[in-house]
Amino acid sequence: RKEVEQDPGPFNVPEGATVAFNCTYSNSASQSFFWYRQDCRKEPKLLMSVYSSGNEDGRFTAQLNRASQYISLLIRDSKLSDSATYLCVVIAYSGAGSYQLTFGKGTKLSVIP
Amino acid sequence: EAQVTQNPRYLITVTGKKLTVTCSQNMNHEYMSWYRQDPGLGLRQIYYSMNVEVTDKGDVPEGYKVSRKEKRNFPLILESPSPNQTSLYFCASQEYRGTDTQYFGPGTRLTVL
């Protein structure tokens, strides 16, 4: 089983739709989780951190399910500008300041007019 | 402006010709990393550095070298590039440990003929 898995998509959704992505991880010792956004041929940029209690930032909601080992990202009222690839990041600490950071391969979202 | 810079942004070279990709950050961050991104494989960490003179291998270190003589700079060295190192490379920095936001440079697109 791969360490961090995402459905590659593409997810093609109409403007205004609600869309959700999941990211599963295999290392039960993982402790930190993030969602990054990457536009075509650009660098990844942090979208939001994922907290245990779930967190919301405007139209975006991130949730963590430790029991089932996945994180999710929900986008409400999709905009054309939301079209991008969404990468999940999972971090597991191994002590003495070392950590293993793993990116998912990303889920591509296209919002259609 | 807080930023991570990389140079060159684009490079076409030939097999075996040593090259260096520079990375510099102006945020006084301790952690810096190098990634490569390939279609279907996502972002994979090459090397990372926890502080000056402290570096460690990531997931795909073969064929690469790094150095961290100053806090702000983290060059990536390909002593003898090969075609399988053709890729999009990103440098990233973060303030301290894995829970902090990673800031990515704009990327270097390398082609090895």
- Write the single-letter amino acid at B14: V
Q: In the structure encoding, which two tokens stand for residue B60, read together?
A: 């795909």
| Residue B62 contacts A where some CB pair is shorter than 8 Å | no
| Å between A100 CA and nearest CA of chain B | 8
pLDDT at B109 over 60: yes
Tens digits of per-residue pLDDT, B65-90? 999 999 999 999 999 999 999 999 99
- Which residue is listed with tokens 């303030």? B95
Four-CA torsion B40, A109, A47, A88, nearest 10 degrees: -40
Q: Do the Cβ atoms of B56 and A98 come within 8 Å?
A: yes
Tell me the Cα Rg of chain A: 14
- Tell me which chain B residues have a C-beta less than 8 angstroms from the C-beta of A44: 43, 90, 102, 104
In the prediction, which pLDDT does A50 show? Answer: 93
Which SS3 state, helix, strand or coil, does residue B33 take?
strand
pLDDT of residue A17: 97
- Residue A42 touches partner B, C-beta closer than 8 Å: yes
The mean pLDDT value for B11-40 works out to 95
B98–A99: do the CB atoms touch at under 8 Å? yes
pLDDT digits (tens, 9 = 90+) for B3-14: 999 999 999 999
- pLDDT at position A100, please? 79
Asked whether the beta carbons of residue A43 and residue B105 sit closer than 8 angstroms, the reply is: yes
Which residues of chain B does A94 touch, with a Cβ-Cβ cutoff of 8 Å? Answer: none
